[in-house]
Structure 1
Amino acid sequence: MADVTRLVEQARAGGPRAVARLISLVEGASPQLREVMAALAPLAGGAYVVGLTGSPGVGKSTSTSALVSAYRRRGKRVGVLAVDPSSPFSGGALLGDRVRMSEHASDPGVYIRSMATRGHLGGLSWAAPQAIRVLDAAGCDVVLVETVGVGQSEVDIASEADTTVVLLAPGMGDGIQAAKAGILEIGDVYVVNKADRDGADATARELNHMLGLGEARKPGDWRPPIVKTVAARGEGTDEVVEALEKHRAWMEENGVLAERRAARVAHEIERIAVTALRSRIGDLRGGRDVGALAARVLDGSLDPYTAADELVAGLTAGA
């Protein structure tokens, strides 16, 4: 059994092994997970969480690495949570993102962790919220969360980040995708990466046009800026950081940051509760409750909604 108190103290002191161990306890759904979260609760809340998402090939990992460099120049301690696809063999992360960010591996002010999706849809790992809390409590000023890159359905990051950055690149069909619902509706800052390629200006113009279609913003509302970058050369990255800081200042001034964080925690609590209920339902399947209800639905003596109500009543009885 891990000494959670000592691990938390070491993590606060900047110990990368302690941070790694705490995140491993989170990922593995350790029996000590509740103890870990209780120890971290009073220490978290200071980090600015930035999510980066976009289609595969737009340069998310390169852009994340460039942002790390930009924040380090400002003296910020940075945590990176890079959510990779799961290996079909081991279930672990494929670690592509850590390979691309290897230039920061020796920097004590940077912590990079790859996490596997393990079948979780929406571009994030199920353990991402708790892992973010670990990096937050460990003293990171900024936590960058890079999603898997699965396309338009990858919108979970909007509910986990303070600010969401959507990356696009010219020549990848993003102009057409901009007209569709999904990933391009969640951005607070839009970045057209690989801006040295032909079509970058046209992509930015079309994106600006699409963002203006049907928008119902009131005076004073945030209008997402569009920043052009060449992340591989670090060009435009400082402008992205400036846009992020402006968005953060706007959120703080208008109370939006507090609202987003409250909604994020509420969503996390609901997810933990639903997971616990699903576990209890799974336990019931080994008994007679669900089977008996299913038999009554099959013979027409009960409808599925009433059966579900009875199941929920049984789960919550005496709670």
Structure 2
Amino acid sequence: MQDVSTLVAQAREGRPRAVARLISLVEGASPQLREVMAALAPLTGGAYVVGLTGSPGVGKSTSTSALVTAYRKQGKRVGVLAVDPSSPFSGGALLGDRVRMSEHASDPGVYIRSMATRGHLGGLAWAAPQAIRVLDAAGCDVILVETVGVGQSEVEIASQADTSVVLLAPGMGDGIQAAKAGILEIGDVYVVNKADRDGADATARELNHMLGLGESRGPGDWRPPIVKTVAARSEGVDEVVEALEKHRAWMEEHGVLTERRRSRAAREVETIAVTALRERIGDLHGDRRLSALAERIVSGELDPYRAADELVAGLTQG
């Protein structure tokens, strides 16, 4: 096993292999993971995390690639976390996103990583928060998290990103899809991509109308802008970057950015704690304590809720 402090130091220097190794430790739930996270903790907090989500076919990867180009022109280091569907055969990520973003592959200021969801609902790999932390500590100024396009479960991106970008495209029934998925509630910036197609203006109008219907904003609240782009030709991408910077400035001014990051950290702690408890409960199968509780339920001596309380008390004290 490689020394964690050495790996972290190399990642800080921008060495791609060290960053890759750290993310692999995260994905594999390595025994070194606690040591890795402890080493990274003081080095994080500098990156701006942007989530991109939307239905399949709207051009998420093309838009992500165009945003990478725009941020690189500003001299910023960019990390891309492309969360792919898990391969049903190997459990690994399908690397279509990396193929599409191959133009950035030789740029030392860009780090691209595909992660498998491994069956985790919500469009994001369970390890995504820790992977984001690795890219943050490695000196990325902006981290773009592109989620798998799976409809309703994409809403989870809002809990991982500082700013959530929802992409739509004309002619795909996205207005109805947006309403169904609840993504009208999570978008901070909306992008109508493929705006050179017929129906782009109508899609933007429908989206604007739907946003207005669901509005309960007061003075000074953020109103999500709608930006039209043709990402394949980099048209409108600068306007998206401008909208992102405006949202970041608004969040910093109103204390929203700190609150979002605090909520994100709280959810991460909760997930880790629940996972640890679930593992300990899993270890109890065949254990006499669990069997004894089950017997008392069957005999009518105990109800399942009190039995669960006793089990949790035993696990947390033990």
Question: Alpha carbons of 1:216 and 1:7: their partners in 2 closer, same or farther (altered >3 Å)?
Answer: same
Could you tell which deviates more after superposition, 73-82 or 288-297?
Answer: 288-297
User: What is the Cα deviation at residue 177 of structure 1?
Assistant: 2.3
Q: How far apart, CA to CA, are the structure 2 residues paired with 1:297 and 1:197?
A: 63
Q: How do residues 8-19 of structure 1 correspond to structure 2 at under 5 angstroms?
A: 8-19=8-19
Could you list the structure 1 runs, at least 4 aligned residues long, displaced by more than 6 angstroms after superposition.
none
Q: How far apart, CA to CA, are the structure 1 residues paired with 2:294 and 2:259?
A: 42
Does the CA contact (< 8 Å) of 1:76 and 1:141 recur in 2? yes
Q: Residues 283-314 of structure 1: CA distance to partner in whole angstroms, max 9, x if unpaired? A: 11131222332333334332221111111111
- Counterpart of 1:233 in structure 2 is 233
Q: How far apart, CA to CA, are the structure 2 residues paired with 1:183 and 1:301?
A: 47
Q: Which runs of 5+ in 1 are unaligned?
A: none
- Counterpart of 2:65 in structure 1 is 65
Q: How far apart, CA to CA, are the structure 2 residues paired with 1:9 and 1:86?
A: 31
Q: How do residues 131-210 of structure 1 correspond to structure 2 at under 5 angstroms?
A: 131-180=131-180, 182-210=182-210
SS of 1:224's partner is coil
Question: Alpha carbons of 1:238 and 1:275: their partners in 2 closer, same or farther (altered >3 Å)?
Answer: same
Q: Residues 212-248 of structure 1: CA distance to partner in whole angstroms, max 9, x if unpaired? A: 1131101000000000001111111000000000000
- Counterpart of 1:260 in structure 2 is 260
SS of 2:219's partner is coil
Does the CA contact (< 8 Å) of 2:155 and 2:181 recur in 1? no
- Counterpart of 1:76 in structure 2 is 76
Q: How far apart, CA to CA, are the structure 1 residues paired with 2:172 and 2:69?
A: 26
Q: How far apart, CA to CA, are the structure 1 residues paired with 2:291 and 2:201?
A: 60
SS of 1:124's partner is coil
Does the CA contact (< 8 Å) of 2:85 and 2:94 recur in 1? yes
Q: Which runs of 5+ in 2 are unaligned?
A: none
User: What is the Cα deviation at residue 197 of structure 1?
Assistant: 0.7
- Counterpart of 1:89 in structure 2 is 89
Does the CA contact (< 8 Å) of 1:192 and 1:226 recur in 2? yes
1:219 aligns with 2:219: yes
Does the CA contact (< 8 Å) of 2:82 and 2:112 recur in 1? yes
- Counterpart of 2:55 in structure 1 is 55
User: What is the Cα deviation at residue 15 of structure 1?
Assistant: 0.2
Could you tell which deviates more after superposition, 89-98 or 179-188?
Answer: 179-188
Could you say what the CA RMSD is over the residues aligned between the two structures, in angstroms? Answer: 1.0
Does the CA contact (< 8 Å) of 1:78 and 1:109 recur in 2? yes
Q: Residues 148-197 of structure 1: CA distance to partner in whole angstroms, max 9, x if unpaired? A: 11112211110110000000111111122233352232100000011111
Q: How far apart, CA to CA, are the structure 2 residues paired with 1:41 and 1:126?
A: 19
Q: Structure 1: which amino acid aligns with 2:11?
A: A
Does the CA contact (< 8 Å) of 2:151 and 2:177 recur in 1? no
SS of 1:285's partner is coil
- Counterpart of 1:307 in structure 2 is 307
Q: How do residues 109-148 of structure 1 correspond to structure 2 at under 5 angstroms?
A: 109-148=109-148
Q: Percent identity?
A: 87
Q: How far apart, CA to CA, are the structure 2 residues paired with 1:291 and 1:91?
A: 34
Does the CA contact (< 8 Å) of 1:153 and 1:183 recur in 2? no
Q: How far apart, CA to CA, are the structure 2 residues paired with 1:31 and 1:22?
A: 12
Q: Structure 2: which amino acid aligns with 1:241?
A: V
- Counterpart of 2:280 in structure 1 is 280
Q: Structure 1: which amino acid aligns with 2:170?
A: P
Q: How far apart, CA to CA, are the structure 2 residues paired with 1:110 and 1:94?
A: 20
